Amino acid sequence: MFSSSTQIRIHYALTDQMGVVYYGNYAQFFEIARTEAIRQLGLTYKELEAMGILMPVSDVHIHYRKPVRYDELITVTVMLKEMPTGKRITFYGEVVNETGERCTTSDITLYFVDAHTMKPVHMPAALEELLKPFF
């Protein structure tokens, strides 16, 4: 299993008039955590793009259990439960608040695309090599 955690402080722009984080903003949290997960592996998503690979999202599932509020310092964890083998990759995610409560869970699937043809392609070898040791 591969797992990576990132901390995010909730700023005002992320809240809505219900006094909690707007439901649409969690997509950003999981994007940030995915990006930092790849960086932690020793690559950056920016480098993947420079190699001609894009990673559009195909499916998002988010389950909201407990709201997150202004100024909370959340820990966003993303996990790969198994070695991705095809043209897709699914990150499981969770948001945990400062008192250890699991507020949100997600699974988000992206696919690898050739930036020129926009056709799905296999996971780039550079990323595959870095992931192998975790499985």
Query: What are the helix (H) ranges across 1-135?
Result: 26-41, 45-50, 125-131
DSSP strand E in 1-135: where?
Answer: 2-9, 53-54, 57-64, 73-80, 88-96, 102-111, 113-114
* 59 near a copy of itself (CB under 8 A): yes
Per CB under 8 A, the segment of 56-64, 81-89, 90-98, 122-130 that binds a copy of itself is 56-64
Say whether residue 32 binds a copy of itself (CB under 8 A): yes
Q: Which of 2, 4, 15, 68 lies at the binding interface for a copy of itself (CB under 8 A)? A: 15
Distances (CA, A) of 45 to 22, 78, 111: 26, 15, 13
17 sits near a copy of itself (criterion: CB under 8 A): yes
Q: Scan for tokens 């392609």, then name that residue.
A: 121
Kindly state whether residue 18 participates in binding a copy of itself, applying the rule CB under 8 A.
yes
Among the listed residues 29, 36, 6, 41, the one whose alpha carbon sits nearest the alpha carbon of residue 105: 29
Q: How far is the CB of 41 from a copy of itself (least distance, A)?
A: 15
φ and ψ of 124, to 5 deg: -60, 140
Is residue 42 at the binding interface for a copy of itself, with CB under 8 A as the rule? no
Q: Does 135 bind a copy of itself (CB under 8 A)?
A: no
- Binding test (CB under 8 A) with a copy of itself, winner from 1, 3, 9, 42: 9
> Given the rule CB under 8 A, which residues bind a copy of itself?
9, 11-13, 15-20, 22-28, 31-32, 35, 44-46, 54, 56-64, 67, 69-71
